């Protein structure tokens, strides 16, 4: 009995030592993993393309901020094609990046690839544009309130045309979030005495804006008293078409556009553009802050909006030197 008791005591002591060792000397896997820093962060970014001054400034902000922070950035230009963006996202998943950022060229068709990112444990941040996907497939959306931008543009058109009249609309890329929302927001506030007689896509480009405006003028001539453009580049292209047609932009045809790029300020200084509603492209600092928080496990809000203003010709010359895009 004495030998049996000693054996039991020895076994108990052994298990106590093993239990204490496994509980204190080896931290849990989550505790052992080091938090990511900017210098160790690897980001894959699938950009839409370079269709406008706004997009060029947005890309510069993403790249320059990465360099400043020491982030390892893998960047791709989709050249306005969804299939290219999807291929880029899949390549980032295969490479095992920490975070994926992208500006979806259109709203639909993303669920499969974003599910693949989720299955791989890679958080996704949508920047500038939303995709129509379930909330659990992305960490957050960083960008503008496009509906509010459209409403502001509608209010400004009402102010410019108190007597009403016929206007035309240059729509952005068909199916994209900014085009959809700027279209609907504008109509929410537009006065009843203003009639949109034609609305066509200029695909957010200066060349297409000019081409579509030429067609509008050919069809309606001086019936047109106002133009609403979903971005400044299309408005600038339309201004060229209006001048070539023999009318005075900003006078014969009142023009409201969105983005507030340098070219818009120059057009306002020249008296050719009446209003530009801001859409801030300098999202790099906010994006990397959110990316680091996401990869370190922080729950992010569904939407992080950017702050924006409305600009007019009367102070465009004073503000132009301060514009970064």
Q: Does the pLDDT of residue 2 top 90, yes or no?
A: no
Q: 128-141, pLDDT tens digit by residue?
A: 999 999 999 999 99
Backbone conformation region of residue 36, classed left if phi is above 0, alpha if psi is from -120 to 50, else beta: beta
Distance CA 93, CA 87 (A): 10
DSSP state of 253: B
pLDDT number for residue 324 = 87
- Tell me the percentage of the chain whose pLDDT exceeds 90: 87
Q: Which residue has the tokens 């669920």?
A: 111
Q: 267-310, pLDDT tens digit by residue?
A: 999 999 999 999 999 999 999 999 999 999 999 999 999 878 99
pLDDT number for residue 33 = 61
Q: Which DSSP string corresponds to 170-205?
A: EE-STT-HHHHHHHHHHHHH--TTEEEEEEEE-TT-
Contact indicator for 112, 137 with CB cutoff of 8 Å: no
- Output the average pLDDT for the chain: 91
- Tell me the percentage of the chain whose pLDDT exceeds 70: 90
Q: Which of 214, 152, 219, 211 has its CA nearest to residue 181?
A: 152
Averaged pLDDT, 244-269: 98
Question: What pTM did the predictor assign?
Answer: 0.84
Averaged pLDDT, 181-194: 98
Averaged pLDDT, 160-185: 97
Which residue ranges form the domains of the chain, and what is each CATH number? 38-144+281-307 (3.40.50.2300), 146-279 (3.40.50.2300)
Backbone conformation region of residue 209, classed left if phi is above 0, alpha if psi is from -120 to 50, else beta: alpha
- The model's confidence at residue 32, banded by pLDDT at 50, 70 and 90, is very low
Crossing angle (nearest 10°) for helices 232-245 and 262-269? 30
Distance CA 172, CA 209 (A): 9
Averaged pLDDT, 72-87: 97
Distance CA 160, CA 158 (A): 6
Q: 85-129, pLDDT tens digit by residue?
A: 999 999 999 999 999 999 999 999 999 999 999 999 999 999 999
């Amino acid at each position: 009995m004495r030998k049996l008791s000693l054996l039991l005591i020895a076994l108990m002591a052994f298990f106590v030592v093993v239990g204490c060792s496994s509980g204190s000397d080896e931290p849990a896997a989550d505790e052992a993993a080091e938090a990511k820093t900017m210098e160790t962060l690897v980001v894959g970014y699938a950009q839409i393309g370079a269709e406008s001054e706004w997009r060029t400034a947005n890309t510069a902000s993403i790249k320059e901020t990465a360099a400043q922070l020491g982030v390892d950035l893998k960047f791709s230009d989709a050249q306005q094609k969804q299939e290219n963006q999807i291929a880029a996202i899949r390549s980032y998943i295969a490479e095992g990046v920490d975070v994926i950022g992208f500006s979806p060229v259109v709203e639909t068709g993303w669920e499969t690839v974003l599910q693949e990112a989720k299955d791989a444990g890679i958080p996704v941040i949508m920047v500038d544009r939303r995709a129509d996907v379930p909330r659990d497939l992305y960490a957050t959306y960083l960008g503008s309130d496009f509906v509010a931008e459209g409403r502001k543009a509608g209010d400004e058109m009402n102010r410019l045309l108190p007597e009403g009249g016929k206007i035309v609309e240059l729509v952005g890329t068909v199916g994209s979030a900014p085009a959809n929302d700027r279209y609907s927001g504008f109509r929410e506030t537009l006065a009843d005495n203003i009639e949109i007689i034609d609305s066509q896509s200029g695909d957010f480009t200066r060349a297409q804006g000019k081409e579509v405006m030429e067609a509008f003028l050919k069809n309606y001539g001086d019936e047109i008293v106002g133009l609403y453009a979903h971005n400044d580049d299309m408005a600038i292209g339309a201004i060229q078409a209006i001048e070539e047609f023999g009318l005075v932009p900003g006078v014969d045809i009142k023009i409201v556009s969105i983005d507030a790029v340098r070219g818009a300020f120059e057009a306002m200084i020249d008296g050719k553009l009446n209003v530009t509603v801001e859409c801030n492209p300098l999202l790099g600092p906010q994006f990397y802050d959110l990316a680091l928080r996401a990869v370190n496990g922080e729950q992010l809000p569904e939407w992080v909006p950017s702050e924006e203003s409305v600009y007019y010709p009367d102070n465009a010359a004073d503000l132009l030197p301060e514009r970064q895009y």
